[in-house]
């Protein structure tokens, strides 16, 4: 077997997390949060957790795995209360250990608790770590995430002034992308960074409120969409109602890659349907890069709307040429050498009777390292395709993301330093076309000035620190979490009540 065929297929770009929160007396907030996280599962598959408070204590239950693997009826029935915070995680700061699963819990010296979930990635983590060390709020229990730092700093400051005032004071000094959902025993809070890099929306239940990373999370629990949480907004929800304050200097820079890949197609961002955006991208792609072909097929599922749009724009028939195994998610079982050599076939398999003898346009959402497309083109040719024309529903990814997407390093990006024909030859396609950045922005119906496209153009709206002070393992490199012993066997239950810190959590095998 030659090198191309044996090459392991790259992981797709991953967003860091999904967050969900509920304040709803009289409702089963744990189950509402469970279903909300189910709707947000695509945003993180490493770990999941839910915290619930009944007004007296906060209980946190979290573990490694998918939402459906972490929770069952018995667990959810044990989580009783009126305030909940939920989180599903894919790590971009800190490793994928149980200690780094969220919600994070800290207790304050005023005998109250704080549970926090975070979506995004901070760029002044080193500075926050130094501040936390000075005041004695460094992560306990082996956690090495920027989320735990935020929780520790909030809990420390809340001792004297309360969580709402502490958040209003701390958040203006936090730099990077963050959507936060956090709660004490009685109140649900939500905050979005002044650039609004990651999405966060507010919804209304008949007897309460919901906060979610995406509108799809509102839909699944029957909450009506109210509005987006604004960039630089801090919300507090309790028995007195909803309060809103502003911090920082809002300068919206929503992530354009949410439209390309990260968000669910049935989600709405800034008033624009993600599905409609992706179909429009496909139409523009057909105008910018036409092809003489017999059939347009998507790389499912994220390439499907753009492929529909390409077929509409080009007049070439649309068809399904690849079948996706929807049960291949994140796994802790390493594939054997034989399975690794099969590469992409674990996830996608061709419909040979559809492909054979055809000139294909294959539409995908993005190319990162190029391994997936290289294996895919080879597989299609082996299945009888006469020609393979690859069309990509985003511009070339030339720069890493430091705001919450786990891209490769710049040296690993196939588009870094390579021209279009060089990339085409690298993946073995007959032709290759990317939608232009102008076309992508136009499809989003957002002004370019309100979008972050740093992974495409290298223009980072939030200034970055020196290279050694940023990256997924910055806190491990600083020695965070070393003060406590590591746990070889991850446990599932963290029972957190006033007076208990994360390192004192009750554990159940």
- Ordered by where they begin, the domains of the chain are 17-253+482-504 (3.60.20.10), 272-325+334-447 (3.40.50.2020)
Active-site hit among 17, 88, 151, 179: 17
Cβ count within 10 A of residue 497: 18
List the binding residues for Mg(2+). 302, 364-365
What is the structure's pLDDT at 136? Answer: 81
The candidate with the shortest Cα–Cα distance to 259, out of 293, 284, 225, 232, is 284
Q: How many residues belong to the chain? A: 509
Rounded to the nearest angstrom, the gap between the alpha carbon of residue 338 and the centroid of all alpha carbons in its chain is 31
Who contacts 19 (Cβ-Cβ below 8 Å, separation ≥6)? 40, 85, 86, 87, 117, 118, 119, 179, 180, 181, 200, 211, 212, 213
Distance CA 437, CA 193 (A): 25
The binding site comprises 255, 302, 364-365, 401, 452, 455
Binding residues for [4Fe-4S] cluster: 255, 401, 452, 455
Task: Provide the pLDDT for residue 434.
Answer: 98
Q: Quote the pLDDT of residue 432.
A: 98
Nearest CA to 377 out of 366, 367, 385 is that of 385
Residue 95: its pLDDT value, please? 54
88 noted as active-site residue: no
Mean pLDDT by 10 residues, the chain (509 residues): 39 70 97 98 93 96 94 96 94 62 89 93 91 78 79 90 94 96 97 98 97 98 98 98 96 96 95 97 98 97 96 98 78 57 80 97 94 94 97 96 83 89 96 98 97 96 79 52 35 37 31
Give the CB-side neighbour count of residue 99, counting CA atoms within 13 A. 26
Asked if 119 contacts 43 with a C-beta cutoff of 8 angstroms, the reply is yes
Is the model's pTM score more than 0.75? yes
């Amino acid at each position: 077997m030659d090198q191309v065929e044996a090459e392991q297929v790259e992981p797709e770009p991953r967003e860091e997390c999904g967050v969900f929160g509920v304040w709803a007396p009289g409702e089963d907030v744990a189950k509402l949060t469970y279903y909300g996280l189910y709707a947000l599962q695509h945003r993180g598959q490493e770990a999941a957790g839910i915290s619930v408070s009944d007004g007296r204590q906060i209980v946190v239950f979290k573990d490694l795995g998918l939402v459906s693997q972490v929770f069952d009826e018995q667990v959810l029935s044990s989580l009783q209360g009126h305030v909940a915070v939920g989180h599903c995680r894919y790590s971009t700061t800190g490793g994928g250990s149980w200690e780094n699963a969220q919600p994070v819990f800290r207790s304050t010296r005023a005998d109250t608790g704080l549970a926090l979930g975070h979506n995004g990635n901070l760029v002044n983590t080193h500075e926050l770590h130094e501040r936390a060390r000075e005041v004695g709020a460094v992560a306990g229990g082996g956690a090495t995430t920027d989320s735990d730092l935020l929780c520790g700093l909030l809990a420390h400051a809340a001792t004297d002034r309360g969580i709402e005032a502490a958040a209003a004071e701390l958040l203006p000094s936090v730099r990077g992308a963050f959507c936060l959902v956090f709660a004490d025993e009685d109140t649900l809070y939500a905050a979005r960074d002044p650039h609004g890099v990651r999405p966060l929306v507010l919804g209304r239940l008949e007897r309460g409120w919901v906060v979610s990373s995406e509108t799809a999370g509102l839909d699944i629990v029957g909450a009506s969409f109210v509005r987006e949480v604004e960039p630089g907004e801090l919300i507090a929800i309790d028995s007195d109602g909803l309060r809103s304050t502003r911090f920082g200097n809002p300068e919206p820079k929503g992530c354009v890659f949410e439209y390309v890949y990260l968000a669910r197609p049935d989600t709405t961002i800034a008033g624009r349907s993600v599905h409609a955006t992706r179909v429009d991208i496909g139409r523009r792609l057909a105008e910018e890069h036409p092809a003489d072909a017999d059939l347009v097929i998507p790389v499912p599922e994220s390439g499907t709307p753009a492929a529909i749009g390409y077929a509409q724009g080009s007049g070439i028939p649309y068809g399904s040429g690849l079948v996706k195994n929807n049960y291949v998610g994140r796994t802790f079982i390493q594939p054997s050498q034989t399975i690794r050599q099969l590469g992409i076939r674990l996830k996608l398999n061709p419909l040979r009777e559809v492909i054979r003898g055809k000139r294909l346009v294959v539409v995908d959402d993005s190319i990162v390292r190029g391994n997936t497309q290289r294996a895919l083109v080879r597989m299609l040719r082996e299945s009888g395709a006469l020609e393979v024309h690859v069309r990509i529903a985003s511009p070339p990814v030339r720069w890493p993301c430091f705001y919450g997407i786990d891209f490769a390093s710049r040296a690993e990006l196939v588009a870094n330093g390579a021209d279009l024909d060089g990339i085409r030859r690298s993946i073995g396609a007959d032709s290759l076309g990317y939608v232009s950045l102008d076309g992508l922005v136009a499809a989003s119906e957002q002004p370019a000035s309100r979008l972050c496209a740093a992974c495409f153009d290298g223009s980072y709206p939030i200034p970055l620190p020196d290279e050694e002070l940023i990256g997924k393992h910055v806190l491990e490199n600083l020695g965070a979490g070393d003060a406590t012993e590591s746990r070889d066997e991850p446990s599932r239950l963290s029972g957190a009540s006033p007076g208990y810190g994360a390192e004192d959590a009750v554990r159940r095998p």
